[in-house]
Structure formats: structure tokens, C-alpha cells
Structure 1
Amino acid sequence: MSSERKDDHLRLAGDQSRLPRSGAGFDDIAFVHHALAGIDVADVDLTVRMPGGRWDAPLLINAMTGGSDATGRVNRELAVAARETGLAIASGSVSIALGDPSVAGTFRVLRDENPDGYVLANLGVERSPDDARRAVDLLQADALQVHVNAVQEIVMPEGSRSFARWPASLEAIVAAVDVPVVVKEVGFGLSADTLALLTDLGVAAADVAGRGGTDFVQIENARRPEGGYEHLFGWGQTAVACLLEAPADAPVLIASGGVRSPLDVVRALALGARAVGVSGGFLRTALDGGAEALVAQIREWQAHVAALCALLGAATPDDLLHTDVIVGGETADFCRARGVDLAPWAVRSRAHRAETARRERSRHDR
């Protein structure tokens, strides 16, 4: 891994973030509007409990970069924005810093500029348990984000071609570190079967990171002089599809991949995500306007998420799980093919009221 590759990734991801995005599935989700269900915005509390600590809002500045002078400067802007808004923040893969201490500061700036914030270190699933501990120590991290990226590796000119040991490697990492492990796809989704396996391996949280956001097939294909992997563009599932088919005993879920607006954030929370990660949209703002512009954007998103929660009658993000959602389009087709019954999602508020009334009667009877 080289600093030049890190700069390539940043440049190509930045270019992608400026293009119109579609195909992430969020537009397949609509809320049933109940005109008298609203509450006061002042009564909405956006804080959420996550493995390893409390977050001030269900938003994450997701894994992006680090490993070169240019990416270190971007990380500083992101860290300042996280500090000023109270958002959790994840580093890009710190693997390069474990082999080249001269670039460690380009990652450590996330902690230096944000000493009291919730910081996730990021590392590839193939790394050793000792490397995992070193990654956590480098950032004094509150959690370790372990990325799984087989599709990216296949297209990457210098990528791995050996994936069979990944489950065992992940299990060893979970056992080795003293902080929660968050498994993150890099844009191709985590299926229900994968989420069930992650539960068995002791993973605390999973970022389903679906297609529709930053496309690492396109990024790595652009780095190949001859290209050739265009047939893999659009591979995988959306975050929306992953949330809808997630098993009940899945790890704590984070959603990312093509999140464009506060409405997408609320949609993901209503589908079962505890928090939502944003990369491309925040990166574009940081590149164009620095920390000041990103702080303004994040505060606007926080205000809009709170307003949408109030509109839907949700005093907390968890209360969004009782809202009624209609699933259509390609996402509905996916769910039918995978055996996901969508009918209960459309009447959740009714079911919640009935269950609340039943509990109240039971309490009085006692």
C-alpha cells in the first residue's frame, strides 16, 4: 500500500461524490403520513447508545482516508467537524501506518483534534490480531472498524485473491481487542446470512454499507490502465435491502452507502439501523469548504433529522421503529425474492399501539 494509492482513492472518490447518485434504494421507502401523530421538535432526543459509548446523534462521519500529506489534511478537517458537532468519526484503513510510522500522524490527527470524541480505527480483515491492537492504540480508538472488501480486492491491481480465511481472521481480531468490533462492507452490502455469521463470531456492530454510494469497483477499475471490470459496476445489495432482510439477532446495525439527505438518514433508522454513516457527501463538502462548511452541513442535517422525527411522532431514533413504511420498486422485488414479508412494515404503528394497550391492561390487572 502506498501514499500514492491513498491519494488516488481520495481523488477518485471525490470525483464520484460530485456525480448524481441513484440506485441506493432509499427512494423505494415511503412513510405513511399520520397528520395528527406529530410531537414537539424540542422533545426529540437524538442520542443513541452504541457499542462502546453514547453518540450525540445517530450519524457517523464514515471511513474515508489517511496515509499521505493530502489525506492527512482532509482528516484534520473531518476531525474538527466531528469535534464541533459531536459526531462519531471513523478513519480510513490504518494499514499503511502500521508499516510506515512516518504517515501515522495523518490518522492520529483524528484523535489529536478530537480528544474527547468517539473515534473508530479502521483495518482490513486480513490483518493479524497484533495489528488490530496496534490500530486501536494508534488512535486510542473507542471501537475497531474491520472492513471486508472482497469485490474491491478482485478489481484492485495489487489486491488479494485469498478470502477463505477471512472468518477465522475476524474471529481472532474480535478476541484480541478490548474495544467493540464493527464489521464494515465497503459498498456491496451485508446479506442476512453474513449478518448471522457475524453474530456467531461475536461482532458487536455491522455497517451494511450497500451499493449506491462510493463505488470501489469503479475506483479500482479506473486505476487499471486497461480497465476491464466494467461488468462488476453495481455489484451487491443496497443498504435498504440489507436492513429489510437483517435477522432479528443481527449485531447492532449501521447503514451507509448512498445516503444523500436527512430523509435518507431517517429512512435507514426506521428500517432498523441504530446509526447512519456518510462518506461521499461529507467528503465533497470538506474538500470544497473545509471544516467550517462541513460543520454547517452536519448541524443542518441534525436539525432536519430532529424535525422529521417530530413529524413522525418519534421522540427518539428508536421510536422510528414503530413508524409505518411502504416498500416499493426494486427493493420490494428483492424482498419478495428473499422471502421478506413487507406487509407488517406498513402497519407497525397500529401494532405498537395494540401492544402498548395490552401491556397497560396487564399492568392494571396485576
Structure 2
Amino acid sequence: MTRAQRKRDHIQYALSTGQSRQTGLDDVEFVHQSFPNTALEDISIQTEIGGLLLSSPVFINAMTGGGGQETEKINGQLALAAKEAGVAMAVGSQMSALKNREERRSFTVVRKQNPDGIIMANLGSEATVDQAEAAVDMLEANALQIHLNVIQELAMPEGDRNFKGALERIGIIAEKLAVPVIVKETGFGFGKEAAGKLAELPVAAVDVGGFGGTNFAAVENERRTKALAYFNNWGIPTAAAIVECKTEAGHMDVIASGGIQNSLDVAKSLALGANAVGMAGLLLNVLMEKGPEALFTELSSLHEDLRMIMCALGANEVADLHKAPIIIQGDTYHRLHLRGCHPAKFSQRCQE
């Protein structure tokens, strides 16, 4: 099977397997504020990650590319929606385009459609410095995502089996590259141990890529003769991953992703400690089922609803959500307590 065909298969299986809604975000509840002392017109949703100023904390996270005309069309439509909605966008892994110039168009269409927007390039942790620079140059990218997908690779019939030296390669790339480097998981979640290791490097941000969204183990198991069923429920749920990463992030910004489905999920993710929120599966479903105009409407609605929630909570800006009191309950509370993350402290926060 060609790499391009595999990319197209990933899209179809991702759509068919869906999202599990096991992010842990349903265990998070805001404490109502009767005196928010806010006005909707004063709410700002601007934020910053890795030194990049974003007009919205919501961005279109890495999905696809390298699958020929089909993925070129998808990326072009995503880029146009990003431009119209004023959000950043990341592309899928560009390794295919570095190995086959014919696949470049499925990526370069993003900058063509959105010449002034914030675009994030993307490669796996096997990349070299030269490949990282080439991926950034291909898109005139503002940042580089380096994705980690150990479980997907193990489940993938033709996937990698050697993951030695990844941390060292990431450190070298982050040191040499002229743009911020973001390290992201792909649906299995970052724990505090991994975040602590990254915090020792000049990495700008960590994208938690938590369990509960598109399950790439399940996607790959659809392609296997013998499914590795033990990987289907493997990972750290998004809500817990955000808190774990925040405890060890140090200088790094934290990005939430993994099964984010609505503006309340966005607000909860920000309140747990994230600076921005990547969305992929939901937006791809909207695009494929309803078209580009519906995708723009979805993004606009997310912004409108997020402002409403922030106004109700007395949060004039994204940073204020980091101080909003929240109740963490259920499995997420239990997990965080066992991991030494002190979930009760979130309920005692006070906004000035």
C-alpha cells in the first residue's frame, strides 16, 4: 500500500470510528458566579502560545496531507475556513512531501489559501534538523509541530518499531529551528513524566493530545488482520493530561487537544491550564458532512459561545479562566489525586 493510500484510509477510518467522549471533561464543572462584573463586549479571546499571538484560543489541529488530490482539497478548505474565522491551522505530517515532491501541493495549498494566517508545519519525532527546516520552508510556517505516535505506529501494520533517540532529536531541532517547536501527542495523552523531560529542552509548547477523541489505535486496528485490542483503550484522558502537563510544563505553554467537541469543552480545557485548544475530528466531520460554509459557521459559533461562557464566569480574557474555580469529580479526580496533582485545589481558586 502506498503512503498516499494510507493517508486516505486514515481519513475514512477516523470518520467511521468516531470519538469516544472519554476525555474526562465531563468530570469538570464550573462554579457559578452571581457577580461576574463583566460585559460581553469587553471579552477578549486572544491568547499566546510559544510567543505567537493568536486571535482565538481555538485552532484547527493537524489532520491530513500527502494523500493526493483528496487531501489537497480537504486542506484547502480547512485553510480557507481558518482564514475566514481568524484561527491558526496545523497540517498533518509532511514527511510524505519531503520524500515525494508530488505530494507537496496537498500541503502548500494551505499557505496559498491563507497567505497571512498562522500555519504550523508538522513532522514526526524521527525527523532531522534539515527535514524540519524543509517542512517549515515548504509552508512558510510560523511554528513546527513534532508529533509522537508510538501506539499508532505499533498498531500500524507497516509502522515504526524503533523509538530510540526521539527526545534528543527533538531537543536539537528545537535549538536549531528559527520558529517555535510544539511537541504533540496524537490521542494517547502526555503524562507529567514526559512533560518534565520536555521542559528541560527549548520546546515552546506541549500539546497534550489526550485520549477520548479520534482513536488512532482503533483506526489502525481496522486495517490489521489481527487487531491489537489492548491498545484500543490505552492513554491518558484529555482533562487529566492537561493538568499533568501543567504541573511540569515549566517555561512551556500547554495546548489542549483530544476529543474537544464544543465551546464548553474549550472553556474547561483553558480553566484546567491550557493556553490554546486544538480541534480536529469534530471539524473534519463538519467539513465532510456539511461543507466549507458549515465549517466556518461552526468556528464562528465556537467563538460566540466561548465569549458567552467567559462573560458568565467573570473572565475578561483567557488568562482569567486559569483562575476560575472549578470542581473536578469522578474518575478524573481519582486519577489526578493518585498522580499527586491535588485536584481539590482547583475548587478553591479565586478571581480578583
Same fold per superposition (TM over 0.5): yes
Query: Aligned partner of 1:34: which letter?
Result: Q
The residue aligned with 2:28 is 29
The residue aligned with 1:265 is 266
What's the CA shift for 1:41?
0.9
Aligned pairs for 1:63-82 within 5 A = 63-67=62-66, 68-82=68-82
Report if aligned partners of 2:61, 2:278 keep a CA contact under 8 Å in 1: yes
The residue aligned with 1:281 is 282
The residue aligned with 2:54 is 55
The residue aligned with 2:208 is 208
What's the CA shift for 1:52?
4.3
The residue aligned with 1:315 is 316
Between structure 1 and structure 2, the one with the greater Rg is 1
The residue aligned with 2:143 is 143
The residue aligned with 1:195 is 195
Report if aligned partners of 1:207, 1:253 keep a CA contact under 8 Å in 2: yes
Q: d(CA) in 2 for partners of 1:213 and 1:83?
A: 25
The residue aligned with 2:253 is 252
The residue aligned with 1:361 is none
Q: TM-score scaled to structure 2, two decimals?
A: 0.96
Runs of 4 or more consecutive aligned structure 1 residues displaced over 4 Å after TM superposition: none
Q: TM-score scaled to structure 1, two decimals?
A: 0.93
Q: Note the residue ranges of structure 1 that are not aligned, 5 or more in a row.
A: 354-366
Q: Note the residue ranges of structure 2 that are not aligned, 5 or more in a row.
A: none
Report the count of equivalent residues: 348
The residue aligned with 1:127 is 127
Q: d(CA) in 2 for partners of 1:128 and 1:277?
A: 25
Q: d(CA) in 2 for partners of 1:53 and 1:250?
A: 14
Report if aligned partners of 1:195, 1:250 keep a CA contact under 8 Å in 2: no
Aligned pairs for 1:320-331 within 5 A = 320-331=321-332
Report if aligned partners of 1:174, 1:181 keep a CA contact under 8 Å in 2: yes
Check if 1:90 corresponds to 2:112. no
What's the CA shift for 1:53?
2.1
Q: d(CA) in 2 for partners of 1:258 and 1:209?
A: 9
What's the CA shift for 1:234?
1.5
Q: d(CA) in 2 for partners of 1:252 and 1:53?
A: 11
Indicate the SS of the match to 1:247: helix
Deviation per residue, 1:69-103 (Å, 9 max, x gap): 11111101100000001100000000000010011
Check if 1:240 corresponds to 2:239. yes
Q: d(CA) in 2 for partners of 1:122 and 1:3?
A: 16
Q: d(CA) in 2 for partners of 1:217 and 1:263?
A: 27
Q: d(CA) in 2 for partners of 1:250 and 1:239?
A: 21
Task: Say if 1:344 and 1:52 are closer, same or farther in 2 by CA, change over 3 A.
Answer: closer
The residue aligned with 2:230 is 231
Q: d(CA) in 2 for partners of 1:250 and 1:7?
A: 37
Indicate the SS of the match to 1:92: coil
Q: d(CA) in 2 for partners of 1:252 and 1:31?
A: 22
What's the CA shift for 1:196?
1.1
Report if aligned partners of 2:58, 2:87 keep a CA contact under 8 Å in 1: yes
Q: d(CA) in 1 for partners of 2:337 and 2:166?
A: 30
Deviation per residue, 1:42-67 (Å, 9 max, x gap): 11011112224211110110000011
The residue aligned with 2:9 is 8
Deviation per residue, 1:294-336 (Å, 9 max, x gap): 0001000000000000000000011001111000111011011
Q: d(CA) in 2 for partners of 1:237 and 1:293?
A: 31
Report if aligned partners of 1:52, 1:179 keep a CA contact under 8 Å in 2: no
Query: Aligned partner of 2:91: which letter?
Result: S
Query: Aligned partner of 1:262: which letter?
Result: S
Q: d(CA) in 2 for partners of 1:236 and 1:250?
A: 25
Query: Aligned partner of 1:166: which letter?
Result: A
Q: Alpha carbon RMSD of aligned pairs, Å?
A: 1.2
What's the CA shift for 1:258?
0.8
The residue aligned with 1:340 is 341
What's the CA shift for 1:276?
0.3
Report if aligned partners of 2:17, 2:218 keep a CA contact under 8 Å in 1: no
Q: d(CA) in 1 for partners of 2:242 and 2:282?
A: 21
What's the CA shift for 1:109?
0.8
Report if aligned partners of 1:266, 1:308 keep a CA contact under 8 Å in 2: yes
Q: d(CA) in 1 for partners of 2:165 and 2:214?
A: 26
Q: d(CA) in 1 for partners of 2:51 and 2:134?
A: 18
The residue aligned with 1:39 is 38
What's the CA shift for 1:22?
1.8
What's the CA shift for 1:289?
2.3
Check if 1:291 corresponds to 2:288. no
Report if aligned partners of 2:46, 2:56 keep a CA contact under 8 Å in 1: yes
Q: Percent identity?
A: 38
Query: Aligned partner of 1:193: which letter?
Result: E
Query: Aligned partner of 1:308: which letter?
Result: I
Report if aligned partners of 1:75, 1:107 keep a CA contact under 8 Å in 2: yes
Indicate the SS of the match to 2:144: strand
Q: d(CA) in 1 for partners of 2:97 and 2:37?
A: 49
What's the CA shift for 1:221?
0.9
Q: d(CA) in 1 for partners of 2:285 and 2:239?
A: 23
Indicate the SS of the match to 1:298: helix
Deviating more after overlay: 292-301 vs 235-244: 235-244
Q: d(CA) in 1 for partners of 2:221 and 2:176?
A: 34
Q: d(CA) in 1 for partners of 2:123 and 2:46?
A: 27
The residue aligned with 1:364 is none
